[in-house]
Amino acid sequence: MPQPHIDVRYVANLARLALSEEEVAVFQGQLDAILGHVETLSQVDVSGIEPTAHPSPVFGPMRDDEPHTSLPASGLLQNAPDQAQDQVRVPKVVADA
Amino acid sequence: MHDPIHPDFSTYPAMTISELRQRFSEGTLTPAAVLQQLAGRISERDTRTGAYLSYQLDTALAEAERADLSLPLGGIPIAIKDNINTFGLPCSCGSKILAGNYRAPYDATVIRKLRAAGAIPFGRMNMDEFAMGSSTENSALQTTRNPHDPERIAGGSSGGSCAAVADGTAVVALGSDTGGSIRQPASHCGVTGLKPSYGRVSRFGLVAYASSLDQIGPVGTCVEDVARVLQAIAGHDPNDSTSLNAPVPDYLTTVNDGVKGLRLGLPKEYFGDGIDPGVRRLVEAAVAKLAAQGAEIVEISLPHTEFAVATYYVLAPAEASSNLSRFDGIRYGHRAAAPADIPDLYQRSREEGFGPEVKRRIILGTYVLSSGYYEAYYGRAQKVRTLIRRDFEQAFAGVDAILSPVAPTPARKLGGSSVDPLQEYLSDIFTLAPNLAGCCAISVPCGTTAFDGAAALPVGLQIIGPHLGEAMLLRVAKAAE
């Protein structure tokens, strides 16, 4: 297993999560300690063991493809932080030329 | 200090579901009167306990007027953890990212089923933010205190649901359990809480934390109430592909069958060092009580127990980091003011909206899923999960149910979780493995003990059953009650 050390700011950026300097400092020690405990998994012989993604005995069930009514857009849009013309409004994504 | 609550309902007309049903059918009590009593009791007691985030008496009273008392839960109010969508009501998940800006646009399947059974959803219950925690101190909204000692935690993450039932401000409640979040607060508050088998209850409408582990389950003052609520919410749901299309037995017909002739296993790994002596004494007394009723007690081994915490704290944060990516400030939830661009909107909305425990788990989960570390952490943990699952399968080849403590100690004092998250995670040791394996498990009160300066704190016995073994589980729980 790799050495237990997280580059907290780099990983937080992957998760699109801004952090204060103080948070980075606090999380660094805590996360390294947690990963240190996770290292115990390297003691387990897992050769030939299949992974478990979920404990259900059912895999990939399909439901009948029958039309049904969806939730009304108005009910869903009322939770949007900003909306206009029955759509979610967001800041401009495309940069100016 | 609060007067001892459980099971003292001397000032309170609401009792168990069956007693309420009896009073309703006699005409000596109405659902509306019960709701009024609950509201009065909430205003009298919950300022201290802090279990309720909100409740809507008018809406509930209107539903009480229409209640069909012939239904199994006709007119019974049920408190709902604030991560289960209930149409038109807030669903904050104990987080600033959803508080005050979100109303559920639909009913979760469990709410739809409860309504179909005649129940009245009443009250939104406090919780650790996004169900991450074992104390309810991680709620961004308020602290929930233990009704048995207000200086102590209620446990978590379903701390609001369990504290309210213990405090007599709710008859029954729904919680959710990903690694012990129903059983541990039930143990700390002295009530009964059940985590159903994975797939027994639909997760549709439950805000996802770790999808391969999450289950919704009931909390009550007795095993029979928990059985009645489970009866109403169990079953297949086309909206949740992981819900199982397996028949739901009639739990009440077997709950009183007793334990004579059953084989009950004591996993030696669950009775090692680190358990408070008072907890050990009470759990051993509960085991002796079951033995006296004719159960055969056998020692068993779950050899991968020591790896459950490490496995869980790779897999659950991994799933959480993926599930919580939906909180991006776009479609719902908090959006940061005046964002410079889209990445800035995402990053600051999440920074401002999430609390420290959620941030820790998102970072941890993102790390174990990231390129170069995926196989070493996530892949390996999934394989160890297989070994933990096999431990239980092998154990259940020889025993009908497994007995253990719920938590190593009774409720600790408030104010201890933020300093050392790893120590807090390690205290989940007895409750995590059933989620990893998909088993059902229940916490049943087994007495009170002196602990850390407190005279009498509740302790729960954990009973673990095989996958879809709820009928057996409830039967053993009833005998232990």
Q: What is the CATH number of the domain that holds B207?
A: 3.90.1300.10
Domains detected in chain A: 8-43 (1.10.20)
Residue B290 domain-assigned? no
Show residues of chain A in contact with B329, CB under 8 Å.
81
Residue B171 in contact with residue B17, Cβ under 8 Å?
yes
The band of B56, judged by pLDDT with boundaries at 50, 70 and 90, is: very high
Residue A8 in contact with residue A19, Cβ under 8 Å?
yes
The reply to whether B228 and B345 lie within a common domain is no
Choose the final residue of a domain: B335, B350, B383: B383
The reply to whether B165 and B30 lie within a common domain is yes
Show residues of chain B in contact with A38, CB under 8 Å.
310, 313-314, 368, 377, 381
The band of A97, judged by pLDDT with boundaries at 50, 70 and 90, is: low
Judge: B422–A56 Cβ closer than 8 Å, yes or no: no
Tell me: the pLDDT tens digits for B349-386?
A: 999 999 999 999 999 999 999 999 999 999 999 999 99
Name the H helices within B293-428. Answer: 308-323, 342-353, 356-368, 374, 380-396, 421-426
Residue B55 domain-assigned? yes
Residue B357 in contact with residue B138, Cβ under 8 Å?
yes
The reply to whether B94 and B155 lie within a common domain is yes
Minimum CA–CA partner of A87 in chain B: B331
Judge: B438–A76 Cβ closer than 8 Å, yes or no: no
The Cα-based distances of A55 to B184, B197, B473 in angstroms read: 21, 9, 18
| Owning domain of residue B138 | 17-262+402-480
The reply to whether B476 and B352 lie within a common domain is no
Domain count, chain B: 2
The reply to whether B44 and B189 lie within a common domain is yes
Average pLDDT of chain A? 90
For residue B37, what pLDDT is reported?
93
Choose the final residue of a domain: B383, B412, B440: B383
Tell me: the pLDDT tens digits for B179-188?
A: 999 999 999 9
* pTM value surpassing 0.80: yes
Residue A58 in contact with residue B242, Cβ under 8 Å?
yes
Q: How many Cα atoms occupy the beta-carbon half-sphere of B405 within 13 Å? A: 28
Residue B2 domain-assigned? no
Q: What mean pLDDT comes out for the span B67-75?
A: 97
Judge: A17–B198 Cβ closer than 8 Å, yes or no: no
| Closest CA relative to residue B445, chosen from B460, B464, B463 | B460
Residue B209 in contact with residue B224, Cβ under 8 Å?
no
